[in-house]
Amino acid sequence: MLQVLRFLGLMNAAVWLGGVVYFSAAGIRTVFQPSIRALFHEYYVGTVAQALQASYFRFQVVCAAVAIVHLLLLWWLRPRHVQRPLATIVAIMSALVVLTAFVIQPQMKSLFETKHRAPTWAQRETAATRFRVWHGVSQGFNLLILGGLVFYVWRMAAPADEVKFLTTQKAQNPFAVSERV
């Protein structure tokens, strides 16, 4: 049971890491290619990017929830099997994911709309500046999550650090000549 649970945890970590790497390296960049920007107005390109980010954050929330449930099940089955650094990294990554998905992303969506639909240029400029700041914070959190995921996958892929019990008794040689009195 424990091996199956460790395998499921490793698969979740690998899928989560793969999703973050793909989205960060290729997925979102596709929307902002010059050929796409030439076809569509900046507002529509940004709207598509916002929709992709919303899906990406939902994906991360699900992966973080699975990681937390996985650690809780490990702790329930073998309380000493869960390592503090691993649990700490999962907690920090989960907090960053929740913060990004439920605080930063809605704020960025609102600022994006204001940036393109505000009645005055001053409001649009203010919204654009604040959007860039929140985007930078979001990217910084994404890099922290990526680093945490690399550590998480590395620790999940490592063999379990189980306590090995050593006996102090010597094994008896079955071929030794025994003295019988």
pLDDT, one tens digit per residue, over 92-147 is: 999 999 999 999 999 988 888 888 887 888 888 898 899 899 989 988 999 999 99
* Residue corresponding to tokens 């019988």: 180
Q: Which amino acid is at 28?
A: I
Give the model confidence (pLDDT) of 2-23 as tens digits: 778 888 888 999 999 999 998 8
Q: pTM of the full predicted structure?
A: 0.75
Contact 52, 32 (CB under 8 A): no
Burial 21-49 (b: 16+ CB within 10 A, else e): eebbeebeeebeeeeeeeeeeeeebbbbb
Is the predicted pLDDT of residue 67 greater than 90, yes or no? Answer: yes
Question: How high is the pLDDT of residue 116?
Answer: 83
Cβ-in-10-Å burial (0-12, 13-18, 19+) of 63 comes to buried
Q: Which amino acid is at 113?
A: E
Closest Cα partner for 86 from 100, 70, 99? 70
CA-CA distance, 82 to 76, in Å (whole number)?
A: 9
